[in-house]
Amino acid sequence: MKLKDKVAVVTGAASGMGKAIAELYASEGAKVIVADLNLDGAQEVVNGITANGGSATAVQVNVAKQEDVDNMIDTAVSTYGTLDILVNNAGIMDGFEPVGDILDERWDLIFDINTKGVMRAMRKALPIFLEKGKGNIINTASTGGLNGAHAGATYGASKHAVIGLTKNTGYMYAQKGIRCNAIAPGAVATNISASMKNVNPFGIERTKPVQGVIPRVGQPEEIAQVALFLASDESSFVNGTVVTADGGWTAAF
């Protein structure tokens, strides 16, 4: 088992990539905090994990609230004794708005969840990792954090920021035994589109040529395999970087 006796927190774990990551980590021996705003969905994931002989606990968390993030990390420590792996996966989409159509409140909400939520969890976990002299952070970014035409301006900017935060953290704490990497998924079959509000006709039209050359849609389990590699000792020399998992989509650009 690649993660035997490790303790992991996975946000956005009630569905999609987060669910697949939580389930795979548990099958590889990790004790998992399944964190999500949807507590019922998180508990269903926990039930599945425990039915298969794994260990997991559901925690309701709104990553836009520091008190929720604090409780999530504290629950990992109080329940399982420590924290080894933090996976910041929770996120929402924009409506493909270009900059001329951005609303302040929508910008603030997306950044609060996609970017500040990541920062909040990292900030809370860092003292634990520093005391242990080791720790592992994995952030779900996006090919939209590398390219300009995979979503709207707000989502793209929020994920560019996550990549910058990842690279800075990987470098800053490299000599403290802490690694921080990101995954940039391309098109993956998840329910993130449910968070899209009032899709912008101009923005979606401009992205059609790029979306049209997607080789195929990936599955959450394929992203989970990347997250397992980054969480395991097999990636011990991988730090401060972004692993693109998009089936070859962005290789064309």
Q: What is the pLDDT of residues 90-149, one digit of tens each?
A: 999 999 999 999 999 999 999 999 999 999 999 999 999 999 999 999 999 999 999 999
Domains of the chain: residue spans and CATH: 7-252 (3.40.50.720)
What's the CA gap between 29 and 54, in Å, rounded?
7
> Among residues of the chain, what percentage have pLDDT more than 70?
100
Question: Looking up tokens 């990541």, which residue turns up?
Answer: 118
Within 8 A by CB and 6+ apart from 59, the residues are 33, 34, 35, 39, 42, 71, 72, 75
Q: Given pLDDT bands bounded at 50, 70 and 90, which one contains residue 191?
A: confident
Mean pLDDT of 227-252: 97
Please give the backbone phi and psi of residue 56, each rounded to the nearest 5 degrees, phi first.
-155, 155
Provide CB contacts within 8 A for 93, sequence distance 6+.
151, 155, 192, 193, 195, 196
In contact, 45 and 71? CB cutoff 8 Å: no
What is the reported pLDDT for 252?
84
Tokens of 239: 């730090």
Q: Which residues contact 179 (CB under 8 A, 6 or more apart)?
A: 135, 136, 137, 170, 230, 235, 236, 238, 239, 240
List CB contacts of 205: < 8 A, sequence separation 6 or more: none
Active site residues: 155
| pLDDT tens-digit map of 42-73 | 999 999 999 999 999 999 999 999 999 999 99
